[in-house]
Amino acid sequence: MAAAAIRSTLKLGMIPADGIGKEVIPCAQRVLEALGSAIPKPEFIPLLAGWEEFKKNGKALPEETIRVLKEECDGAMFGSVSSPSHKVQGYSSPIVALRKHLDLYANVRPVSSVSGIPGPKINMVIVRENTECLYIKKEEIHDSPQGKISFATRQISERASSRIGKMAFEIALRRAEERKVKNWEGWWEGPSKVTIVHKSNVLSVTDGLFRETVRKVKEMDERFKGVLMEEQLVDSMVYRMFREPEIFDVVVAPNLYGDIISDGAAALVGSLGLVPSINAGDDFVMGEPVHGSAPDIEGKGMANPIASIRSASLLLASMGYTTPAAKINTAVDSVLLQGKVLTPDLGGKSTTTEVTEEIIKRL
């Protein structure tokens, strides 16, 4: 983790965006405020982005949002975005664009069960390359005698693969240190391990480059000598993750595979509403819950705020505020373990606000 910088205020850009993002991001803000003097005084800067912003003003990611994040903010929180399922001229996903503008090349998604709650024992971190693969969104369609044919360009670069590989191995080393002071049954038992996910038996050029580059990261850095390294074809990875989730420690994958795997892993702990993430670069970090905009429950007070609250905790930890971050996680785990104040996605009847207030009470 980065060492916490000495500052009197913590300026955080808050981008609720669409759907339930407008409900859960304020919850994360309330929890951060409730930490009091444990962190520098937070200053929240509301910023615009999203499909609704595009429909209003013709831009899903206003230039002012980018400027403020780059020039004024120490970090940020992003809610969720609603993207149309069909092509809309001029529209592109603002979260994808933000990752590029801020060079947030890694999406880090920890997935862990809570000790004491029945179910699969899982404590893994999925490290997803965040800037390329099919998400560069270069698609085209052509007419042919057999009908329309569409094409998508997939980009895998040595630079991006090397950066994400290095981050995965760094996280593995850090988890090894944490395991020395934590004793929880769900942790991978043994040396730290990085699992490389690919499909190079079919995509020998693109996935082959990803695989070879990540392997080289370990071979070229003496610090990673003690970290185990294994590989899984992406289909095998999904199968084994559901059958034996406890065998995985750190998993590194190209953008698309990482996206799919992390959503699947969320099912193992009960809900997408529990799983946090950060979009991380070398100079900036943005927290983001894994769930989508959930238009079916928007405005009903049913959204689970925990993923956003945990994402705020991850954001703090990445900035060096590990103790207050741990305090948030302990409060969340306590609420889940008691099992009385839960949103409907976890089988409860509590509202978004009630869950947030229960977590704040336990801080």
- For residue 87, the model assigns a pLDDT of 82
Together in a domain, 70 and 186 = no
| Range in 73-82, 152-161, 174-183 the model is least confident about | 174-183
Q: What is the 3-state secondary structure (H, E, C) of the chain?
A: CCCCCCCCEEEEEEEEECCCHHHHHHHHHHHHHHCHHHCCEEEEEECCCCHHHHHHHCCCCCHHHHHHHHHHCCEEEEEECCCCCCCCCCCCCHHHHHHHHCCCCEEEEEEECCCCCCCCCCEEEEEEECCCEEEEEEEEEECCCCCCEEEEEEECCHHHHHHHHHHHHHHHHHHHHHHCCCCCCCCCCCCCEEEEEECCCCCCCHHHHHHHHHHHHHHHCHHHCCCEEEEEEHHHHHHHHHHCHHHCCEEEECHHHHHHHHHHHHHHCCCHHHCCCEEECCCCEEECCCCCCCCCCCCCCCCCCHHHHHHHHHHHHHCCCHHHHHHHHHHHHHHHHHCCCCCHHHCCCCCHHHHHHHHHHHC
- For residue 2, the model assigns a pLDDT of 60
Number of domains in the chain: 2
Together in a domain, 133 and 253 = yes
Name the domain boundary from 217, 246, 268: 268
Together in a domain, 198 and 321 = no
The percentage of the chain sitting over the pLDDT mark of 70, rounded to a whole number, equals 96
Residue range(s) defining the domain that contains residue 67: 1-107+277-363
Q: Is 257 contained in some domain?
A: yes
Name the domain boundary from 268, 301, 322: 268
Together in a domain, 210 and 245 = yes
Together in a domain, 171 and 195 = yes
Q: Is 112 contained in some domain?
A: no
Name the domain boundary from 205, 236, 268: 268
Q: Is 11 contained in some domain?
A: yes
Q: Is 363 contained in some domain?
A: yes
Q: What is the pLDDT of residues 282-335, one digit of tens each?
A: 999 999 998 989 999 999 999 999 999 999 999 999 999 999 999 999 999 999
203: domain CATH number is: 3.40.718.10
Together in a domain, 24 and 134 = no
- For residue 181, the model assigns a pLDDT of 64
214 against 269, higher pLDDT: 214
Q: What is the pLDDT of residues 202-215, one digit of tens each?
A: 999 999 999 999 99
Q: What is the pLDDT of residues 96-144, one digit of tens each?
A: 899 999 999 999 999 998 877 878 888 999 999 999 999 888 999 999 9
